[in-house]
Amino acid sequence: MQMTLNLWLPILLSAVAIFIASSLIHMVFKWHNAEYRKLPNEDAVGAAIRAGVLAPGQYALPHCVDMKEMGSDAMKKKFVEGPVALLTVRENGLPNMGKSLSQWFVYCLIIAAITGSIARGALGATPAAGMIACVVGTMSFLAFTGGSVQMGIWMGKPWRSVAFDALDGAIYATICALVFSWLWV
């Protein structure tokens, strides 16, 4: 635990730098904006969803409880006719950006802390800067990118979107690697 506490400065600075980089990515460069398309009949789809009185959560269309049901002719027909969709329903109201940004910052801190802790344990107290960058960069890249790849495989997230998430992850990992290499104690 003491070894990780010695890394408090690179942990904190990594989280701050990643937070700033992600803000630039989303507010200045906006390369994620093209990932979300407007439904041509948004009002009708919204009305249909409201009519279903859905609680916040995740929904599948068509919904199938097991592989046996998926093998039925009726379920096969639903999948073929479509649409096939996974839907996340959030609470009504404007997004709480303060809450989301706070959660994102805490997440960045957690990734930096875990990455630093594992790197310290694996590398010891005085490793070469290149080894620090390699271990910290690799681990933080996996942490920031892995979930998006899973979403591409299992949830149908478009691979173009996964690629942009991987680009984000590479930027965040590079920041982490540079900060830890610079400030390793």
pLDDT single digits (tens) 123-145 = 998 999 999 999 999 999 999 99
Q: Which has the higher per-residue pLDDT, 6 or 164?
A: 164
| Position 73 in a domain | no
Mean pLDDT confidence for 109-119: 96
Give, for 89, the enclosing helix (H) or strand (E): strand 85-89
pLDDT of 163 reads 97
Taking alpha carbons only, the member of 18, 20, 13 closest to residue 179 is 13
pLDDT tens digit string along 32-53? 999 999 999 999 999 999 999 9
Residue 168 has pLDDT above 90, yes or no: yes
At 5 the pLDDT is 75
Domain count, the chain: 1
In-domain check, residue 68: no
- 185, pLDDT greater than 80: no
Residue 15 lies in a domain: yes
In a domain, 83, yes or no: no
Beta carbons of 32 and 26 less than 8 angstroms apart: yes
- pLDDT band, very low/low/confident/very high, at 29 (cuts 50, 70, 90): very high
Domain assignment present for residue 27? The answer is yes
Is the pLDDT at 87 greater than 70? The verdict is: yes
Q: Quick one: the chain helix, strand, coil %, rounded to 5?
A: 70, 5, 25
Residue 78 located in a structural domain: no
**What is the reported pTM?**
0.90
Q: What percent of the chain has pLDDT over 70?
A: 98
pLDDT band at 10 (very low <50, low <70, confident <90, very high): very high
CA 158 vs CA 25, 57, 169: distances in Å: 19, 21, 17
Residue 101 structural domain: 2-37+95-183
Q: What is the pLDDT of residues 50-80, one digit of tens each?
A: 999 999 999 999 999 999 999 999 999 999 9
Q: In the predicted model, is pLDDT for residue 3 greater than 70?
A: no
In a domain, residue 111? The reply is: yes
Q: In the predicted model, what is the mean pLDDT of the chain?
A: 94
128 lies in some domain: yes
